[in-house]
Amino acid sequence: MSGGASPYRRHKNDVEFGGGGAGNQEDFESVSDPFDIVSTKSASVQSLRRWRQAALVLNASRRFRYTLDLKKEEEKKQIIAKIRTHAQVIRAAYLFQAAGAQSNGAEKAPPTPIPTGDYSISPDQLASMTRDHDFSALQNYGGVNGLSEKLKTNPDKGIHDDESNILERKNVFGSNTYPRKKGRSFWRFVLDACRDTTLIILMVAAAASLALGIKTEGIKEGWYDGGSIAMAVIIVIVVTAVSDYKQSLQFQNLNEEKQNIQLEVVRGGRRLEISIFDIVVGDVIPLKIGDQVPADGILISGHSLAIDESSMTGESKIVHKDQKSPFLMSGCKVADGYGTMLVMSVGINTEWGLLMASISEDNGEETPLQVRLNGVATFIGIVGLAVAIVVLVVLLIRYFTGNTSKSSDYPKFTAGKTSLSDAVDAAIKIFTIAVTIVVVAVPEGLPLAVTLTLAYSMRKMMADKALVRRLSACETMGSATTICSDKTGTLTLNLMTVSEAYICGKKIDPPDNKSELSSGLVNLLIEGIAQNTTGSVFLPEGGGKVEVSGSPTEKAILQWGVNLGMKFDVVRSQSTIVHAFPFNSEKKRGGVAVKLSDSEVHIHWKGAAEIVLAACTSYMDTNGTVVPLDNDKMENLKKAIETMAAGSLRCVAIAYRTMKGENLPVTEEEVEYWQMPEDDLVLLAIVGLKDPCRPNVKDAVELCKKAGVKVRMVTGDNLQTARAIALECGILESNAEAKEPNLIEGKTFRGLSEDQRLEIADKISVMGRSSPNDKLLLVQALRKNGHVVAVTGDGTNDAPALHEADIGLAMGIQGTEVAKESSDIIILDDNFASVVKVVRWGRSVYANIQKFIQFQLTVNVAALVINVVAAVSSGDVPLNAVQLLWVNLIMDTLGALALATEPPTDHLMDRTPVGRREPLITNIMWRNLLIQAMYQVTVLLVLNFDGKRILNLEHEDVKEADKKKNTLIFNAFVFSQIFNEFNARKPDEMNVFKGVTKNRLFMGIVGFTIGLQVIIIMFLGKFTTTVRLSWQYWLISIIVGLVSWPLAVVGKLIPVSERPFSEYFYNLYQSCKPSRLGRNRASSRGNVDDT
């Protein structure tokens, strides 16, 4: 589809169109327009404050409700700082006290146990020990084993997994939740809706009109004028409050989902996945890189375990944990290593719980569309305000000069004869009309429509397996021009199995056939598999199927070990881990040093096949003899790796070496800084892991290509494996494409200069053997080239790239907590197809907002023009205050609900990505709304000025005839909006009814609006100053509205310029500005030049 046929067309001034450096945040900040914030992901506080101050706002509490509360944000930072300071003061005081006790030679007496339930230790004692990091108290309780006994748990097997035990622990020690501040009640939303400046003025005017009416006409007849306005305002307030309250509940539910972290615990010797809220005191929790510490506790065992405590202490220092420093604080992140912890305190008994309970969760966060729509609303509001002032002045002049039409709601003014109360009453009615025009003209609902469509989209995206953490990511995804995707688990199923194995220098078929292998080799292989892993194997006591847990790679290798006859617990008990080097995505390998019962030390390594193989100097043959690796054997093994990789297998090598016990480091400090030998290794095995492509991934990649979004694979796997998968997925279309620069290795890209990286980045389709830093460099290069980049990531080291990208997508299953916290959206099923659904939703958000803008501006233009022309020419307005309030309700709240909740269609993916500086009102939208507005204005003004003759009402009473005519105008105007609501659904498609029946909310709102309009005309005439209409008049109203459908079809045949109208005005503005020299001088004085 051509760019000109879509309201999403991009143009030359668009940020994504390239032009070098447009992706930099500094450029965004330098824009002089306060409403031009391209990305709010890292916008400065000054720019956020600036656009708020520039907006014309009638109800600040409602308009800015879902934006970031800058004042609260500052208060939140102060509270966090206070709690952190308090925690540090307590620890400093304890250390000072402990030092004093040691200098006096006095030993601290063990705390007296306070039995609680069946446990010989109380929650307060545990909380005091962990909060103060009281090491002497820990020793007095008997260390980990002593506390395990008191808490009736086992450091290896955890607590018993039965409901009564868990419930008892929750009753005694509390649950892992904290009291949350209650959300706003419905009445708070009612109060917020009442704060609208124009509605307050209308209520005051209604009260004055009510008082005057009752005084002059008595209570029976005199209350209608003021009472009808008051009732209309109350209805607007209630409908607004209900809509806003429902939105807030949606955000509340989504926020709870964000906090519901899933993690592993050991219960009854089995690893289970549970919610963070279900953790209890006594639980044993395995920790690995990227995990969040879910509760306060103590370290049972760990290897190279390092914790980032910045979330609690405010200091970015990484703290190493061992038996001398075993205390772990809730809310901190595991920066390196792995280990297991014993939970001591949960919920409000932890510092993290206190911190979270004392700060309210702020859902506020502006999105670029919200900011831009505030700019649009401000511009329209200023025009509306000017129109209202003109109407007010004209009507007042006409009234006090005696030039009022006979049909007006107030008697003609005659100097010296008209009473003061009549004159005041007329002035109030005129003023009310002017204020109501402001209500209609200032589109308060426009920026809120973004929030509404985002709230709706976020809820629906949950069903599509995407959890939105940042609102702005929802709409930014519609602008994404490229997706940098991981391979494993995203493009593939993440169901790995060992399908090929090379042992003793030759292929073993099947891979678990050990008949040709010596027992010594099998034992070494099993020892390496069992000890050098972060996974586990559980064998139920009564027999049954073996349960393997861990990452997909670990599970595949452990399962292979089980097939070779590995008894996991037995093997692990035969040796002790001395030191571990956790798998590192930079080095692509992980290792472990184990000490056997005879003091012999084995160092096992496992990792990327070609990297581990390069460190090997020998291998073990079928007899268990160590044989040197000659060049021929090495070449054969390299070819085997290439063959497996070309068959899309992930290749992992397992190797080991021996070491003398006396060369081992002795102290914990020595162990911590010890570099395990990683050369002169003996190759034990090379295995190929099969991870099939997801069945629907090729279609998803094709859909992205059609939508103008380039998919790039960035993986740590072998380049040949990446190439095979890329061909299978459709990222590379043919073997001819599979060469540099389309296919590149991470280290090659890393070695280029910055200019070379910028030049080559656009061409890259696959990057293999990439480190997280390579991914970051690619993201930066693409952004500098003008791309809007979405990046998927699951590891802790992916956090910088996720943060740098325009949209960071973390994996919900394999993703670490660190990756998730750095992301904008979490893909709950780790599926690339879900990423593509997010793109659809992103485009849908933008499309729905544009539909609503087109609909609202049509109503605005028509209502304003009709009332201004009528006021200036006849001194009266056909649409009175109550009628305009009803139109405003259709337009603002009901219109937003109907159009902002349209589900995405496949048509959205036929377009190019939405430019982030693309005009919100495109040429197509201008054409549509001007055609409809001109039609409505023409028909209704003809009815206004010549309606009596056309409707044959000339012989009827003047007032009654005018009431009939004005009622018809009001009815026809409302029906025009109802029919035009259908047109707004499809701004650039002929068939506006496609899929309409699937949107029940849209149909319901249209039905509700028609029903209410019938009730207003037929039964509420006293309030709305209308009369009942005959069926002929109803037919005329419907025909007037119905004509908008064929008119819209004809209008869409009119071609529009590809160049945005805004550019013509911009060029006109530029030509009217002083010469370039003058601008340069101004620039040199510190003014910001136009961008």
Structure tokens at 1020: 């509420």
User: What is the spatial distance between Cα 89 and Cα 192, in angstroms, rounded to a whole number?
Assistant: 42
- Contacts with 801 (C-beta within 8 Å, 6 or more apart), sequence order: 484, 772, 775, 776, 779, 791, 793, 808
User: Which member of 486, 806, 824, 892 is catalytic?
Assistant: 486
DSSP 37-102: -S--TT--HHHHHHHHHHS--S-HHHHTTTS--HHHHHHHHHHHHHHHHHHHHHHHHHHHHHHHHH
- Rounded to 5 degrees, φ, ψ at 680 are 55, 45
Mapped to the 3 state alphabet, what secondary structure does 569-590 carry?
HHHHHCEEEEEEEEEECCCCEE
- Rounded to 5 degrees, φ, ψ at 1078 are -60, -40
User: What is the spatial distance between Cα 62 and Cα 57, in angstroms, rounded to a whole number?
Assistant: 9
User: What is the spatial distance between Cα 585 and Cα 608, in angstroms, rounded to a whole number?
Assistant: 10
Q: Which residues of 444-465 are buried (b: 16+ CB within 10 A; e: fewer)?
A: bbbbbbbbbbbbbbbebbeebb
Q: Considering only CA atoms, which of 233, 438, 264 is closest in space to residue 343? A: 264
Structure tokens at 730: 């459709």
Task: Identify whether the C-beta of residue 367 lies closer than 8 Å to the C-beta of residue 468.
Answer: no
Structure tokens at 967: 């009622």
The region that residue 416 occupies, defined by phi over 0 for left and psi between -120 and 50 for alpha, beta otherwise, is left
Question: Is the four-CA dihedral 1029, 1033, 1035, 1037 of positive or negative sign?
Answer: negative
User: What is the spatial distance between Cα 373 and Cα 367, in angstroms, rounded to a whole number?
Assistant: 10
Q: Can you give the length of the chain in residues?
A: 1091
Residue 271 CA: distances (Å) to CA of 168, 539, 588, 952:
21, 11, 26, 85
Q: Considering only CA atoms, which of 526, 516, 709 is closest in space to residue 602? A: 526
Residue 756 CA: distances (Å) to CA of 483, 750, 760, 892, 1079:
21, 10, 6, 51, 35
What three-state secondary structure class fits 205? helix
Q: Considering only CA atoms, which of 841, 817, 815 is closest in space to residue 489? A: 815
In this structure, what is the dihedral angle of CA atoms 109, 110, 111, 116, given to the nearest 10 degrees?
Answer: -160
The region that residue 1010 occupies, defined by phi over 0 for left and psi between -120 and 50 for alpha, beta otherwise, is alpha
Number of H helices and E strands in the chain, helices first, is 41, 26
Q: Which residues of 399-432 are buried (b: 16+ CB within 10 A; e: fewer)?
A: bbeeebeebbbbbbbeeeebeeebeebbbbbbbb
User: What is the spatial distance between Cα 315 and Cα 300, in angstroms, rounded to a whole number?
Assistant: 25
Residue 776 CA: distances (Å) to CA of 204, 447, 780, 1070:
59, 34, 6, 39
Task: Identify whether the C-beta of residue 485 lies closer than 8 Å to the C-beta of residue 792.
Answer: yes
| Placement of tokens 């930066």 in the chain | 780
User: What is the spatial distance between Cα 828 and Cα 837, in angstroms, rounded to a whole number?
Assistant: 12
Whether 906 is catalytic = no
- Rounded to 5 degrees, φ, ψ at 745 are -95, 150
Task: Identify whether the C-beta of residue 275 lies closer than 8 Å to the C-beta of residue 175.
Answer: no
- Rounded to 5 degrees, φ, ψ at 681 are -85, 160
User: What is the spatial distance between Cα 8 and Cα 988, in angstroms, rounded to a whole number?
Assistant: 10
Annotated catalytic sites, by residue?
A: 486
